[in-house]
Structure 1
Amino acid sequence: MDARDGDRELKVVLEGQYKTAYELLEDAVAVGLTPIVIGPPGVGKSLLVRKFARDTGRAFHEVFFDELLRPSYLIGTFNPAIVLQRGYCAEAFEKGPLITTMEEGGVFLAQELNRASEFCQNSLLEPLEERSYYIPRIGRVHADERFVFIATANPAELAGTHRFSEALRDRLRVWIPLTYPDRETELKIIRVNCEPLTLAEDVLEKIYNVVEMARKEKELEMSVSIRAGIAIARLSARHLSKHGSIGNDDIAAYARSVILGAARGKKWLDLEKTLDDVIRGAMRAYG
């Protein structure tokens, strides 16, 4: 299955933790339980949900939650111009993505749900528990039987996250953890997402070493995602197709450009030096 990543498509590799997570996602939905996928940014949480939506033939809608998001965006609002002309009628109500997905019987993905305020979190209780929502002046909207609500969340230690309200936590029944994949799986993910271009195994190993060491570097506040490895590999493969060869300096230059935008340093002025040290160390470690 493919999921959009800019102008290219990312291929999902259903192996290891991803196979386990996908099967648990299927099982949760099949028995009517609400799943939430937990993990750091860039481990493939949303890709897994998109794959599920496509595999089951459901429409897919997603909303990125933050503390500024209000329930009215999810549910919908009345169009003032139509209200003036026709009053508070169904035609005057402009449905939000949650109500739209409920009626379509699609998959609604609540991205980074633990960044939402408690006020916004609590607006989801009725759709999750009753599979319906009461809209004043319109009446109760009932979800299609195929409607699925799935959430993702980042680890609590990341900045900008909130605790889930007890009421919402009680309705998120199945918790599916994801972390960075093992070496073999991540290398396969990078490899298949370079196609139709190819890279030698030693080049892929060097790219993985850079990504892995960047994740372990304490001076970098944000872990480097799988997408970073894919981006470095794509640039390296492009270089190889143009020039016929690629050296360590070329790989290092691409890695520096990609990771510079993907990670933050505790001291911004030292970030470039930290990255250079990480990349040199990764190259030396590979030999």
Structure 2
Amino acid sequence: MTTTMTAEQAGRFADVVERLAENVSHAVQGKPHVVRLALVTLLTGGHLLLEDAPGTGKTSLARALAQSVRSTTSRIQFTPDLLPGDITGVSVLDQGTGRFVFHPGPVFASIVLADEINRASPKTQSALLEVMEEGRVTVDGVSHPVGEPFLVVATQNPIEQAGTHRLPEAQLDRFLIKTSIGYPDHATTLRILESAAEPPHSDPLPSIVTPEGVLLLMAEARTVHVEAAVNDYVSRLVQATRDAPETRLGASVRAALGLVRAAKTYAASSGRHYVVPDDVKALAVPVLAHRLVLDPEAEFDGATSEGVVARALLDVAPPGGVAQA
């Protein structure tokens, strides 16, 4: 029988997340909401998709996360000529022994930055699918676990479309959260410019928790209590995205599960051992919107996935009798 998180455990969880967020914010300034979403993704055991123009701090975010949890990080620059083996690794014949030896690729790291993932071919994009879903790579019939924790931070440039391949719905559904860092505000830009004389990444960030500590936090987040009324609320929200006239394909069951799991982590990071409807509302757009497939005519008329989810939040009443944040 699974033990439910206590109020004391929730308080300790929130304290650790607050220290992690403060640490990462030294590298990604002025974006506390994005930092929190990234930490929720990590501690839920999901993957993060960032849709941003170049130079907004995507690499800094991945590196800061890795340093904060004392983990390894790697960066894969996706290009049209990138092959699946360039990501996962290959088996090479050892001349001395006459046996094939597996040489792991850059995906064997705790936090992997997959930069401009939509520039690679669909075959190479799909090479990430098994790793993201199963946490292992299979080469020549042999499975190689990538280890835990494991987070893929993938990016795509929304501006340049020439020479890109749109991510298939099956792969988009593997990303727990999609968000955007965006440009910093004026005050944050000034702070960044004032420190421009310092070499980038000259001072590594201190580690806040160990990888083992991250796994413990992930396990604790799964024990947050969710009332039946909140599950019913999530189900009705997902159904509303399916019934919307603008959508050809609504949110999947995986999306509903992801929303509940992320809401548990979000609640614990807020110091609560139970999920409230406001947790679901805060995560509905970043968890659900990228999984919807819009009707082409509705999209041509200006409909957006974010708008469909936002309207579902307005149309679907939250459950009564459940505490609010």
Normalised to the residue count of structure 2, the TM-score between the two structures is 0.50
Say if 1:37 and 1:153, in contact at 8 Å, map to a contact too: yes
After TM superposition, the structure 1 = structure 2 runs for residues 173-212 of structure 1, keeping only pairs within 5 Å, are 173-194=176-197
Structure 1's 185 and 158: CA in aligned 2 closer, same or farther, altered over 3 A? farther
> What one-letter code is carried by the residue in structure 2 that aligns with 1:32?
G
Structure 1 counterpart of 2:125 = 121
Structure 1 counterpart of 2:46 = 33
Say if 1:36 and 1:172, in contact at 8 Å, map to a contact too: yes
Greater RCO, CA 8 A, separation 6+: 2
Alpha-carbon distance in 2 for matches of 1:48, 1:143: 21
Q: State the shift of 1:47 in Å.
A: 0.8
Structure 1's 182 and 159: CA in aligned 2 closer, same or farther, altered over 3 A? farther
Match of 1:167 among 151, 167, 170: 170
Match of 2:32 among 15, 19, 36: 19
> What one-letter code is carried by the residue in structure 1 that aligns with 2:47?
T
Say if 1:156 and 1:163, in contact at 8 Å, map to a contact too: no
Q: Deviation above 4 Å: which 4+ runs of structure 1?
A: none
Q: Sequence identity of aligned pairs in percent?
A: 32
Alpha-carbon distance in 1 for matches of 2:152, 2:159: 21
Alpha-carbon distance in 1 for matches of 2:184, 2:161: 20
Match of 1:48 among 42, 61, 81: 61
Alpha-carbon distance in 1 for matches of 2:103, 2:111: 20
Paired residues in the alignment total 174
> What one-letter code is carried by the residue in structure 2 that aligns with 1:141?
H
Structure 1's 140 and 128: CA in aligned 2 closer, same or farther, altered over 3 A? same
Q: State the shift of 1:179 in Å.
A: 1.8
Match of 1:151 among 154, 169, 185: 154
After TM superposition, the structure 1 = structure 2 runs for residues 1-287 of structure 1, keeping only pairs within 5 Å, are 12-15=27-30, 18-80=31-93, 82=94, 84-89=95-100, 92-98=101-107, 100-101=108-109, 106-137=110-141, 139-194=142-197
> What one-letter code is carried by the residue in structure 1 that aligns with 2:29?
L
Alpha-carbon distance in 2 for matches of 1:189, 1:52: 19
- Structure 2 unmatched runs, 5+: 1-25, 200-325
Secondary structure of 1:172 counterpart:
coil
Q: State the shift of 1:143 in Å.
A: 2.8
Larger radius of gyration: 1
Structure 1's 12 and 145: CA in aligned 2 closer, same or farther, altered over 3 A? closer
Q: State the shift of 1:13 in Å.
A: 4.7
Say if 1:122 and 1:167, in contact at 8 Å, map to a contact too: no
Alpha-carbon distance in 2 for matches of 1:109, 1:49: 6
Alpha-carbon distance in 2 for matches of 1:93, 1:153: 30
Q: State the shift of 1:88 in Å.
A: 3.8
Say if 1:28 and 1:35, in contact at 8 Å, map to a contact too: yes
Structure 1 counterpart of 2:207 = none
Say if 1:133 and 1:140, in contact at 8 Å, map to a contact too: yes
Secondary structure of 1:43 counterpart:
coil
- Between Structure 1 and Structure 2, the one with more helix by share is 1
- Structure 1 unmatched runs, 5+: 1-10, 197-287
Structure 2 counterpart of 1:280 = none
Alpha-carbon distance in 2 for matches of 1:145, 1:12: 24
Post-superposition CA distance 1:216-265 (Å, at most 9, x none) = xxxxxxxxxxxxxxxxxxxxxxxxxxxxxxxxxxxxxxxxxxxxxxxxxx
Say if 2:34 and 2:180, in contact at 8 Å, map to a contact too: yes
